[in-house]
Amino acid sequence: MNGQNRHISVKLEAEPFNIVDSRAIAVFIKSSEDFKNVGYIVTELTQFVHPLLEKQSLEVSVRAIRFCTTVFTWPLISPREAYGKDQ
C-alpha cells in the first residue's frame, strides 16, 4: 500500500461443523457489498483465537499480511489424478 495505512473490516467466524477441522476459524473481509471469505486462521493458532471470539468487541492492528496460494480441491486428489499421468 505504498506506506499508507488503510482501515478494513474483518470478521472472524468459528466453524464448529467444518468437516475438515471442527476448531476452524474462517476469515472474512468486507467487500463493496458484503463480507467475502478469504481463508482461515492457521490451525496452530486457533487455540489462541477462540477465546478472543467470545469478546463483544476486539480491536486489532496488523503490521503485515502473508498470503498462501495453495489450493485444495475436495475431495483431495493426487497431482497425478489432477494433472494426468504425464506430469
Residue 66 within a domain: no
C-alpha cell at 57: 468487541
Instruction: State the pTM of this model.
Output: 0.62
In which domain, by residue range, is 14 found?
1-56
Residue 25 within a domain: yes
What is the tally of structural domains in the chain? Answer: 1
Residue 16 within a domain: yes
**For 1-43, how does the pLDDT look when each residue is reduced to its tens digit (9 = 90+)?**
455 666 778 889 999 999 989 999 999 888 778 888 888 898 8
Residue 80 within a domain: no
Q: How far is CA 57 from CA 4, 12, 27, 53, 76, in A?
A: 25, 12, 16, 9, 37
Residue 64 within a domain: no
Residue 86 within a domain: no
Residue 8 within a domain: yes
